[in-house]
Amino acid sequence: MAITLVNPGGLPEIDVYRQVSIASGSKLVFVAGQVAWDADGVTVGEDLAAQAEQCYLNVATALAAAGASFADVAKLNVHVVDWTPDKMPLLLEGIERAAARLGVTPAAPATLLGVAALDVPEHLIEVEATAVVD
């Protein structure tokens, strides 16, 4: 396994991700920000949970094309339109649904950023990933 996830002493333990990832692989995979499009470019879902689920499924598809999976992800960046903390339950719901469908636990270090807008008005979230593969 090219990625080791760690919660070092002295930093808080967060349920949905680890504070540090240690990469030892030789191939880097950079996944462009994925929005809630299906394969035909049609937006899937109108709420944050549905769109988060589709984004994570799209990230998994992109990773697989490079011979990687969520187990190889060293870092996630999540961009949410008009972020406020009260949106966290919907975000987590979508991530949990995608994780259940994929049979994974996406726990890589993650950065959550509130943004004013994304590429089109109906997109509420975008997720990008960096992975390392042996």
Angle at 8 between CA 6 and CA 9, to 5 degrees: 150
C-alpha span between 74 and 72 (Å, rounded):
6
Residue 13 DSSP SS3? coil
C-alpha span between 75 and 30 (Å, rounded):
10
pLDDT in tens, 18-42: 999 999 988 999 999 999 999 999 9
pLDDT in tens, 79-133: 999 999 999 999 999 999 999 999 998 889 999 999 999 999 999 999 999 999 9
**92, burial (CB in 10 Å: exposed 0-12, middle 13-18, buried 19+):** middle
